[in-house]
Chains A and B, each alone.
Chain A
Amino acid sequence: MNMIPQVKLNPITVEVIGSAFASTVEEMGEALVRASYSTNIKERRDCSTALFDAEGRMLCQAEHIPMHLGSFIGFVPYVLRHFGQDGIQPGDVFMGNDAYEGGGTHLPDIVLAEPIFVEGKLVAWAINTAHHSDFADRGHAHIYQEGLRIPPVKLYRQGELQEDIQRMFLLNCQVPAERISDLRAQLAANRLGNIRMTELCAKYGLDTVLAAGSELMNYAERKMRAGIAAIPDGRYEFRDVFDSESLEVPLDLSVTIEVRGDEIALDFTSPPQVRAGLNVVYTALLATVYYAVKTVVDPTVLPNAGLARPITVTAQEGTLLRCAHPAAVDGRITACQRVVDLIHGALAQVVPHRVTAASNGSVAVASFDGRREDGSLWVYLETIGGGFGARHDKDGLDGVHVHMTNTSNLPVEALENEYPITLRRYELVDGSGGDGQFVGGMGLRRVYRAEKPCRVQVMGARLSSQPWGLDGGKPGASGYFSLNGKRNGFERAPVDLVPGDILEIVTPGAGGYGDPARRDAAARDRDLRENRLAHGT
């Protein structure tokens, strides 16, 4: 049933209401970050906010973390199916995280959604997700090891906190004090979204706002189609290997992209799902494809449900890139980074100026946990950027987060104040950017020293393979981990650290673009002067 009323709109009203949506989701995001307590949100900003319409279609997502779209697109439709219109009341707040029941992509990303009622009618949803840095030191053979699975449930029922649900959730968390504070910030963010949407409807009229929301999706679709139509029709394939600390041997991944007129179809082939936290659920695959296609077709397309309409995504169920219950999914973002590389690699054959050489293709993670003197537990998780691929007419970027994530680092002065860890070095890795006419970005080195006994689990990819170059550009360097100076494969499982232990994480660089012989002489001088290339190059 199409609930969107027919209202005559001009393009100006649509634009004005579109900017109101955008400023609302941005304001929700600021409130979430500022009111939160955990370092992962207050400093690293690992959270996202959005508005959805009553039918479960995204109206607008803030520019936070592309991966989080995967947690949003399945959530509201699930709630609508499961609870029905009559089961959703003003003042309800739904909470969930599960990858198989409710549309999440991994368990730490906890989604809170609040229905927005205007004139007694459900008209929209305020929704946000925050990566709760918890569920540490768990297993990843299957999802039951990875943390508490929460299907969308009511944390608030018509304004009443469901204390039993909250207590059960907190009991399953290692750092309940942070969890409750972050949940409070998430609630405040949705409440703001609700207030702003209600004000908007009061001002322009409900029908006008809903019709504009629908038109904004059509608008995103038109822009997307115009961009796809500009890519020559054809079939483009690309193949890459996926390696990780938790895989015995690298896996083959491939994509076949078919561009026909103003539509694009992507078909992924990957091995059967693995007993490791690297599997990708379908909504995470969709979020990844939407991101990657948007970067190539038109980075300015509005982030709403309309952009997905000309895109078809297929993959065999039960495979790494479209896993089925009970596959573990905690580190799905690493595989998703490789999906972006596949798409860019395939499209490089036809629009080489719109893509980059391979970026670091990894999200290096260090997850520390330990016990404080008062007996409470602490968990600290950080993700580390690396090289960003060279462009057709300029160098890549050094030491940044690429593609599916964009979290901040934690200041040294915050890290050492909150956790018994000292950071010894944080720097760009000499020679890690692939050489080329345009040089790939450099990876990062982060060296930690444990001050108290604790445990750490590291994760990463491009440890044996290298980020590829384009058009004769050289590959970037691989990443590695070392413990007390030894690179001995310790990273397969969580390790115990004693005071004084030194952990080093080196993230991959990125591929170069074009034959190195064509590099401009002044740029080459700078490479040498600044020690940016591998010694002996």
Chain B
Amino acid sequence: MTWRIGVDSGGTFTDVCLFDDTSGEVTIWKVPSTPDDPSRGITQGVAEGLEQVSTDAGAISFLGHGTTVATNALIQGRGVKTGLITTDGFRDLLEIGRQKRPDLYDLQADKPETLVPRDLRLGVVERVRTDGSVEEALDEDAFREAVRDLKAQGVESVAVSFLYSFLNDAHERRAARIIAEEFPEAFTAISSDIAPEFREYERLSTTVVNAYLGPVMQGYVRALKKKLTDLGLKVAPQLTQSNGGVIAFDTAAEMPVRTVLSGPSTGVVAAQAIGRMTGIENLITFDMGGTSSDVALLSGGECRVVNEAVVHGYPLKVPMLDIHTVGAGGGSIAYVDNGGLLKVGPRSAGANPGPACYGLGNDEPTVTDANVVLQTQNPEYLLNGRMKIDRDLSVAAIQKLADRLGMEMLETANGILDIVVANMAKAIRVISVQRGHDPRDYTLVAFGGAGPVQAARLARELGMSRVLVPRTPGVLCALGLLMTDLRSDFSATSLMRLDQATPEQVEAIFTDLRNRAAAWFEAEDIAPPARALNLAVDVRYAGQNYEIAVAIPDGPVTTETFDTIREGFLAAHRQLYGFVAEGEPMQLVTFRAAASGLVQKADFAPQPLEGADAGAAVTGARPVWMVEARDFVEATLYDRALLKAGNVVPGPAIIDQMDSTTVVPPGMAATVDPYLNLILEAAQ
């Protein structure tokens, strides 16, 4: 008997999801996180989870882990003392960035902290030109001196980023050897390894972030690996990257910058797997937590991978799922501003003191209070009765707000939800309509503790006709870890006009990428049948600066491949911008190969359908204020754990489970599918 285990370590809880390969049963275990050393909470969670299913660590065939260690170290400035060596004359580039100020109108705003102070940023003479030729050779003595200087100043990490290293990495290669000679104990990040792409500031920033986080991540994975090995784990644990793929712990420690979105990306991967199981492959994910929410779009089962994004103020050129974050969640506070409009967030009451109804000292109304007042959430208890709340405190908090607005209390509570839904809809428009996708063609997948409560309403705001709520929405990220492939992305930048390029030129670039991917397959010990390679090229009109990725089939590059590129680009350009420029030349910019090692995934067996009657799961009824009626209506209450495949829950209804609450509004019905997902659609 073997078990597959996913562990998602968040700020408050560590979720463990155990999948029995033999029976297909899923067991969930939750323990408090240990933020000072997350490996403790994780090991405890795994040990206790194994106890729950009466097995030991030797029976684990796969352990996947999503972590916020890198993100938190970046946000909280807890990376290591880092030095930077760059081309002479450009050491301040890290601080200058793109010369834009942090806020257009707010004179008090600040830029994010520069990760390397000015005295630890050193310039060394060397210069490569725009065609990759060397104008000035690296001054090796000066470089050696700079390394000694940084060592003497006590840095733990050294970043090296020279101009044009994406075209010619000879100086950086030499630099790496000198560091290895002079300062072998340093963590070293070289820009041509980390992000060998055009635009020096973004490449520099990525390299520095990697150096800054490297030793933190190395320390973390070593400690965790040791604890898990001590527990009896026999397999190599895997860690999720921001691109949604998993990678070996040690590789992750070399490239921590690739794991900053490790946490949210696992939710997207879970949604992708659910889409595959259910055959619903056009999905928009909506993950609503306590202080923030993440949204992403999957078209044809694939989430767009962006190769650059700004994370916590730092530009990062690494492959990341295109996830958009909004600073509003269940704990966000609603208030009236000095112009008399109602606003929600970004201030949050967090878990402590939490919403007004917790009675822990906060008297400002939150999104949760609005749901409690309207009774869309249980007005007496949370967490299956484990925590008592006081609706009167929510009413009092919202009444104060209503008085200031001159509105009814219930209308005000409803208004808070309207605004939250509008903010979420705005974020979803960014990832859908702004990228040329109509949300009405998509199914909304709602998860996170607060997602399923607002989902039906959000779907209606966007004209989406279907909502899917997974069976364990509150711990979906941990589940996603059981469904993730190994993945690594390789790229090479080489500018060429499509009408002047030859298939041989392009083939040569892809051959190099295939070789790099093959080396990775070997290093990760991925058997040939499990290897998959997806090729793409970033294309633009010659003269533009933003490229559009066009997928191309694997195999020898021919003139037909060029036709595929041309047609794919024109179609995408028209979809994004509404026009094509007749007769203008196209330019190939960056060539990409995404290598996947297909792992055997948790395989959920469909349940037999039991008929539509969900009566056996009814636990009672309560009045719930529904926006459709603009009044309280009697809603039937259901226990999610008792619902069987095939059951249909007609609205108005509330479906409760330990980790979330799903609202089924009047006029809609929730059908339990064979995988125990809830599918909300207009009632027949």
Contacts and interface: CB of A to CB of B under 8 A. Distances in A.
Interface stretch (A106-114, A309-317, A423-431, A487-495): A423-431
B338 A223 contact: yes
A201 to B, nearest CB: 15
A86 interface: no
A295 B99 contact: no
B51 to A, nearest CB: 49
A245 to B, nearest CB: 21
Nearest to B546: A34
Contacts of B130: 413, 416-417
B313 interface: no
Nearest to A23: B426
Contact of B119 (A12, A219, A300, A529): A529
Given A184-B579, A399-B92, A299 B106 contact: yes
B338 A226 contact: yes
B604 interface: no
A413 B164 contact: yes
Interface stretch (B212-220, B240-248, B415-423): B415-423
B105 A532 contact: no
A422 B419 CA distance: 51
A220 B99 contact: no
Contacts of A226: 338-339
A273 interface: no
B654 to A, nearest CB: 24
B1 interface: no
A531 interface: yes
B342 A401 contact: no
B111 A397 contact: yes
Nearest to A192: B578
A192 B584 CA distance: 22
Interface residues of B, number: 63
Contacts of B578: 188, 191-192
Interface string A407-427: 111011110110000101111
Contacts of A296: 107
Interface stretch (A36-44, A149-157, A251-259): A36-44
Interface stretch (B141-149, B198-206, B506-514): B198-206
A408 B100 contact: yes
B96 interface: yes
A407 B495 CA distance: 26
A436 to B, nearest CB: 16
A22 B429 CA distance: 12
A430 B179 CA distance: 29
A18 B423 CA distance: 11
Nearest to B415: A12
A342 to B, nearest CB: 15
B108 interface: yes
Interface residues of A, number: 86
B545 interface: yes
B337 A223 contact: yes
Nearest to B344: A15
B96 A391 contact: no
Contact of A12 (B103, B106, B418, B584): B418
Given A42-B544, A388-B101, A425-B90, A15 B163 contact: no
B99 A413 contact: no
B310 interface: no
A11 B546 contact: no
A267 B93 CA distance: 41
Given A188-B577, A219-B340, A417-B130, A356 B545 contact: no
Interface in B485-525: 495
Contacts of A168: none
B383 interface: no
Interface in A172-231: 177-178, 181, 184-185, 187-188, 191-192, 196, 219-220, 222-223, 226-227
A10 B411 contact: yes
Interface string B107-132: 11011000001110000000001100
Contacts of A27: 429-430, 433-434
Contacts of B92: 398-399, 426-428
B199 A399 contact: no
A22 B198 CA distance: 32
A476 interface: no
Given A220-B339, A399-B92, A412 B200 contact: yes
Contacts of A34: 544-546, 576-577
A33 B545 CA distance: 9
B339 to A, nearest CB: 4
B118 A406 contact: no
Contacts of A11: 340-342, 405, 407, 415
B94 to A, nearest CB: 11
A289 to B, nearest CB: 14
Contacts of A15: 341-343, 419, 422
Contacts of A444: 96, 99
Q: Which of B93, B577, B579 has the most CB atoms of chain A within a 10 A radius of its CB?
A: B577
A347 B574 CA distance: 50
A30 interface: yes
Nearest to B104: A63
Contacts of B429: 23, 27
A291 interface: yes
A384 interface: yes
B581 A356 contact: no
A42 B545 contact: yes
Given A11-B341, A181-B543, A416-B129, A530 B117 contact: yes
Contact of A401 (B91, B100, B579): B100
B98 A397 contact: no
A426 B101 contact: no
B341 A14 contact: yes
Given A42-B546, A530-B118, A66 B104 contact: yes
A421 to B, nearest CB: 10
B95 interface: yes
Interface string A31-56: 10111111100110000000000000
Contacts of A349: none
Nearest to A402: B101
B342 A12 contact: yes
A227 B338 CA distance: 9
A530 B119 contact: yes
A413 to B, nearest CB: 5
Contacts of A356: 107
Contacts of B105: 63, 291, 294-295, 299-300
Contacts of A424: 89
A521 B429 CA distance: 49
A75 B473 CA distance: 52
B118 A532 contact: yes
A16 interface: yes
Given A10-B411, A31-B577, A42-B546, A411 B201 contact: yes
A323 interface: no
A23 to B, nearest CB: 5
B447 interface: no
B541 interface: yes
B415 A10 contact: yes
Interface string B140-177: 00000000000000000000000110000000000000
Q: Which 9 A-B pairs have the closest CB atoms?
A: A425-B89, A223-B339, A42-B545, A37-B543, A299-B105, A530-B118, A12-B415, A408-B98, A34-B546
15 contacts: A12-B342, A16-B422, A19-B422, A20-B422, A31-B576, A192-B578, A295-B106, A406-B100, A407-B100, A411-B201, A413-B130, A413-B164, A414-B198, A444-B99, A530-B119
Interface of B: 89-93, 95-96, 98-108, 110-111, 117-119, 129-130, 163-164, 198-201, 337-343, 405, 407, 411, 415, 418-419, 422-423, 426, 429-430, 433-434, 495, 541, 543-546, 576-579, 581, 584
Given A37-B541, A384-B99, A400-B101, 12 more contacts: A11-B415, A33-B546, A34-B577, A36-B544, A38-B543, A397-B102, A413-B198, A414-B198, A417-B130, A417-B495, A531-B118, A531-B119
